[in-house]
Structure 1
């Protein structure tokens, strides 16, 4: 069976779905790997790197492929090039890709969405949301440090002492925890808040202070937070306001796949920060945690710089690709048997990640979006 690695064409996407170091894992089990020319260029990977790893570099890699690997979803026109009953593995934000879902369904292909991989222990090595959030959390602190017009660490010199920067992180999931760890490495004093009580211990283990607001916790399924009511959201903003005002850097990371990001910080709260302070909103693409943040743009609110994240992992394309490719290969090999890739829907990981199969939409929320009956 031929595995095709697709070159990314969507604006700003620099990652690639397979790196040369993982090609051998597929070849060893009897799979053929074909890579479109230049697929890894934006991540610093040459065509010769793929050839040296045993892959074929072919402009027609997608033609007749049994499996297509990509970061962003295929274009609808690419679906026609695949072998019958092929498998596609990529991120697949169904609400924005309904026409593609219809094309995959009508062609009889099996589409697996990396963001739908269940958050269970056995699937940790396939959890692309977490691996990419890890990259984004690190990048967020570098963005803030570049823009903050002061030192991050405590500095004691003969000319005087410079106090450390104060960083506040809202959301202590994978991205938030990595942001905390990175800010601590740079010497900042870090505080963090999350609506999940279980996150307090993780925050403290990284040397940061957990902000206690004395509000009910919102523990949800799969490690995510439950959606909060508007009244609780209002109370939370009021209680967070003095903590935001006291920070030199605010990093927000609260996002839930498939839902709009919660608005945690108003523009008035941002404007109350000291002049020169920096805000980094990693959730800007999904609606934003910060009022006024715009994805892919840097705006000014009061005298505060607000940076809205857009495809942040792609800004560190080499390492983001390495992590994502590992997730993809582990999912692919879960379905491998005797030189072919055959989805087993008795496996909860495969079943959970599947959007379309054999002419049907298997993912219930997507069926609802398409107006199909269960």
Structure 2
């Protein structure tokens, strides 16, 4: 079989396969075709792919001839429209936010696997693209904040006087949040953390941060590391606690998201108005609405001296390692759908079943199916 690697859309620097993984697939009787310069922005030149056993082919030929087509984000519309029935696609397609394209994939008789839908179980950890990419995003968010911030992160005692350490507030202690805590602490900041899940308190404290507790949170144990909807009473208490910490914070990193829904707004404009000039917010939930009232995706704005950076794709800012980790996740997933060089997905496998969004002309994921149904009724 032929696996084709497409160059990503403009603005995306990662690539779905790196040369070392191409070599592993070649050893399993899988021929890999790579679009010219697909890995260039991630510092994987075409020569590295050919040395690993790949063949450089134009996108049109890959779309026509490859059995399985690999890209991180949804392919460009021109490519999408030329995909023939029976093709397999694998990537991170955010099906809960792109239900229209999922319906199109079903209508075109495509089998589509979205790796961000893999169940977050122990067995699936080696395929967990959300965790591998969120880890990078949390790290990069703190470095971006430190670069933007007009003061030091650590405490400094000099002949000219002492500099107090930066106060960092992190909203959400999932994978990105925990990495942000660790990075901010290594840079010498004082860190406070808010999360609706009391179970993460121990992890937060083990990294040297203070956990802000709010009683009465809804159980999020089955939400796969995401936030869940909370009661109005809880939201009021949450707002009071966050407002008190926001007023003292120099840096805020926000990570809270709810799958398939708009990100919860945790920071109101009134809270923003209490922050001191020079403060920096990095909002990792910008693509789904943002955790602040003024966040704009892929934009940086200045409000009363407070810099608000909206960026949900910070992993792409470290494309070499982000691509390497993603490719390893993808390779581990492909082991479940490729046997003896042929694509033979086992749809009884819970991981394959969870990742599969469309197959045999139908949407197979119940949540995506419901979203498409709602759209049809409007």
Q: Which residue does the alignment assign to 1:54?
A: 53
Match of 1:292 among 286, 290, 294: 294
Query: SS of the counterpart of 1:319?
Result: helix
Residues 1:340 and 2:342 are matched in the alignment = yes
Write out aligned runs for 1:185-264 (5 A).
185-216=186-217, 218-221=219-222, 222-264=224-266
Q: Conserved in 2, the CA contact under 8 Å of 1:282 and 1:288?
A: yes
More deviation in 113-122 or 212-221?
212-221
User: 2 CA distance for matches of 1:329 and 1:43?
Assistant: 18
Question: What is the CA-CA distance between 1:109 and the residue it aligns to?
Answer: 2.0
Q: Determine the structure 2 residue equivalent to 1:274.
A: 276
What is the aligned partner in structure 1 of residue 94 from structure 2? 93
| Structure 2 equivalent of residue 8 of structure 1 | 8
Tell me, in whole angstroms, the C-alpha distance in 2 between the residues paired with 1:322 and 1:101: 27
Matched, 1:67 2:72: no
**SS in structure 1 at match of 2:165:** coil
- 1:125 maps to 126
Measured against aligned partners, the alpha-carbon deviations of 1:160-200 in whole angstroms (never above 9, x if no partner) come to 22221111101000010011011111111111111101110
Give the whole-Å Cα distance in 1 for the aligned partners of 2:237 and 2:199.
Answer: 21
Q: Which residue of 2 aligns with 1:330?
A: 332
Distance 1:284 1:82 in 2: 31
- Map of 2:316 onto structure 1: 314
Q: Measure, in 1, the Cα distance between the counterparts of 2:225 and 2:89.
A: 27
User: Unpaired segments of 5 or more residues in structure 1?
Assistant: none
Cα deviations by residue, 1:307-350 (Å, 9 ceiling, x for unpaired): 11142211211111111111111111121211112111110000
Q: CA RMSD in A?
A: 1.8
Partner Cα distance (1:356, 1:243) in 2:
44
Q: In 2, Cα distance between the equivalents of 1:309 and 1:56?
A: 34
Cα distance in 2 for residues equivalent to 1:294 and 1:80: 30
SS in 2 for 1:198: helix
Shift of residue 100 of structure 1?
3.0
> Which shows bigger deviation, 209-218 or 287-296?
209-218
How far 1:95 sits from its partner (Å)? 4.7
Q: What is the TM-score normalised by the length of structure 1?
A: 0.94
Per-residue deviation, 1:215: 4.0
Please state whether the residue corresponding to 2:198 is helix, strand or coil. coil
Q: Separation in 2 of the partners of 1:353 and 1:307? A: 31
SS at match of 1:329: helix
**Structure 1 residue 237, shift from structure 2 partner:** 0.8
Q: Specify the SS of the correspondent of 1:270.
A: helix
The 3-state SS of whatever aligns with 1:242 is helix
In structure 1, distance between residues paired with 2:298 and 2:353: 34
Alpha-carbon offset, residue 130 of structure 1: 1.2
Alpha-carbon separation, structure 1, partners of 2:81 and 2:335: 24
For residue 125 of structure 2, give the secondary structure of its aligned residue in structure 1.
Answer: helix
SS at match of 1:131: helix
Q: For the Cα contact (< 8 Å) 2:356–2:364, is it kept in 1?
A: yes
In structure 2, relative to structure 1, the CA distance for the partners of 1:76 and 1:300 (3 Å cut) is: closer
CA 1:301–1:231: 2 relative to 1, 3 Å = farther
Aligned equivalents of 1:230 and 1:315: distance in 2?
37
What are structure 2's unaligned runs of at least 5 residues? none
Distance 1:329 1:83 in 2: 24
**Deviation string, structure 1 residues 176-234 (Cα, Å, up to 9, x no partner):** 00110111111111111111011101101111111123343542413333211234223
Q: After the TM superposition, list the runs of 4 or more consecutive aligned residues in structure 1 that deviate by more than 6 angstroms.
A: none
Following TM superposition, by how much is the alpha carbon of 1:158 offset from its aligned partner in structure 2, in angstroms? 2.9
SS of alignment partner, residue 302 of structure 2 = strand
CA distance in 2, matches of 1:228, 1:216: 7
